[in-house]
Chains A and B, each alone.
Chain A
Amino acid sequence: MLIPHPLLGLRDAQEFTYLGDASLMARPDPDQPDAEAAFADYVFLRDNPAGVHRELWFHEQGDRSWLVVTRNTVTHEILGAELATDVARRGA
């Protein structure tokens, strides 16, 4: 798989480390009364869709940036990639 890095162009997926669902960027608020249950869900439960999946890849052997890659889990087709910092700034 080749990942279209927004700064570096097409890079081999081997240069990256995979973390998981991009929803992991949205940590629950630890000050909320339901924080314990929210963190249990956050840490352990996943949507795990068959199809389009937004996921976090770390460019470990590259510029060490985190990317949000949109990929189809059924075909392995990569539909896009953006810097996780951009996604976080946008609040999505």
Chain B
Amino acid sequence: MGFSGFRVIKEALTGHRGWGELWRNLEPKPEYDIIIVGGGGHGLATAYYLASVFKTSRVAVLEKGWLGSGNIGRNTTIIRSNYLLPGNQPFYEFSMKLWENLEQELNFNAMVSQRTIINLFHSDGQRDAYRRRGNAMHLTGAGGRLLSQEELRGIAPFLNFDNARFPIKGGLIQERAGTARHDGVAWGYARGADRRGVDLIQNCEVTGFRIEAGKVLGVETTRGFIGAKKVGVAVAGSSSRVMAKAGMRLPIESHVLQAFVSEGLKPTIPGVITFGAGHFYVSQSDKGGLVFGGDIDGYNSYAQRGNLPVVEDVIEGGMALMPMLGRARLLRSWGGIMDMSMDGSPIIDRTHIDGLYFNGGWCYGGFKATPASGYAFAHLLATDTPHDTATAYRFDRFARGHVVDEKGVGAQPNLH
């Protein structure tokens, strides 16, 4: 049954007894056409688009824990398409367009809120760089414009404009950017996939791949062998661990990224704001908490928690940007494991093993990419050709020298 205003009223009048579960809890079948490993945002979106756009039947999603238990439930919920490079920007703009119609398509409230993002600049050189980025955005129709300091003062008067070291000169705004409810996105895709016949199998960890003569035949799991014609792996955070079971080494290091939320406050921050002189970004959730984060800790980690030096660094960035932050109390902080790739960009590609496909390397920008990532991965799985906006995300780009390096720092994952 669909969600609607009418139904909310009906359920309210009948004691909310008719809602039911959002998806079925199924036992795995012996065989599928396509298995998606990983029931996070990207895996669920892939399954949804496989079923809805590419009309693929006999699809299963295998998840080792519960659906949405990885980074889709741990991120800072920002959606935007303000990239620079031609390999990236069309992809993220495609994602933005899918976000804009996501709730109508899924009939699910993902709380997509286009409340804008503003990237602040602090020098003439940085203004020029952001002007260039804005022009690159316009090439894909993503919008965006430069804000003068005066305009910015009207929007966000609480910023520390006259900081002696990093005065705020203005910002690059993308009005269509904003936030979405991270869990809601996973639940919406899961429900949408389930309603189109995808089997969502929880508590089913993939322990190995069955590969014969260079072709994948299926996956070994904690619930037995499951056969498949094609296997798509979308397990960002655990990519190296899972692909090692297929004998692959990846251009990825795992790093921990911390995030923070303050106590609930009255509405104060109009959209998403990022500091241009350090690494700090902040938005305000609908519950009122200031949601913010900064740099990764910078060393290989699979622990979903970080260390204090980076906590201090992030808070310092926040205090330099908006000193009023010091009056708020920190409610909690947490960490998630990022697939930090060698050029800061993701991979959506076939592997050298026939029938085995990979989606990962999202660094700490995977959430905004969820719809396009799922769509492009479904496109690749269904048609064996990359989606038009994801042609740059190949495994061999590193060896061939066609890296997609937004920051231009080279093969040093902790700098991306």
The interface of chain A, by Cβ under 8 A from chain B, is 1, 12-14, 18-21, 37, 40-41, 43-50, 53, 55, 71, 73-76
Contact = CB atoms under 8 A, between A and B. Distances in A.
B343 to A, nearest CB: 9
B411 interface: yes
B252 A46 contact: yes
B298 A48 contact: no
Given A47-B240, A73-B303, A13 B250 contact: no
Contact of A44 (B240, B244, B254, B342): B342
18 contacts: A12-B309, A13-B309, A18-B299, A20-B412, A20-B414, A40-B398, A40-B399, A41-B249, A43-B342, A44-B398, A44-B399, A45-B251, A46-B250, A48-B240, A48-B249, A73-B254, A75-B303, A76-B301
Contact of B240 (A20, A37, A46): A46
Contact of A46 (B253, B298, B307): B253
Most buried by A among B252, B309, B399, B412: B399
B249 A47 contact: yes
B326 to A, nearest CB: 22
A43 B411 contact: yes
A47 B399 CA distance: 17
B250 A45 contact: yes
Contact of B254 (A12, A40, A48, A55): A48
Per DSSP, are chain B's interface residues mostly helix, strand or loop, or mixed? mixed
Nearest to A57: B299
B80 to A, nearest CB: 28
Contacts of A18: 298-299, 414
Contacts of A45: 249-251
A73 B309 CA distance: 17
Contacts of B298: 18
A74 B253 contact: no
A18 B255 CA distance: 12
A14 B300 CA distance: 15
A88 B244 CA distance: 28
Given A37-B399, A44-B342, A13 B307 contact: yes
Contacts of B300: 20-21, 48, 53, 55, 73
Given A12-B309, A21-B300, 10 more contacts: A20-B300, A43-B342, A44-B399, A44-B411, A45-B249, A45-B250, A46-B250, A50-B241, A55-B299, A73-B302
A50 B399 contact: no
Contacts of A50: 241, 254, 302
Interface residues of B, number: 24
A92 to B, nearest CB: 20
Contacts of A55: 299-300
B144 interface: no
B70 interface: no
Interface in B221-255: 240-241, 244, 249-254
B294 interface: no
A34 to B, nearest CB: 12
Contacts of A12: 309
A2 to B, nearest CB: 11
B184 interface: no
Most buried by B among A13, A37, A71, A73: A73
Contacts of A53: 300
A49 B309 CA distance: 24
A37 B302 CA distance: 29
Nearest to B397: A44
Interface in B248-272: 249-254
A49 to B, nearest CB: 8
B303 A1 contact: no
Contacts of A76: 301, 303, 307
B170 interface: no
A45 B399 CA distance: 10
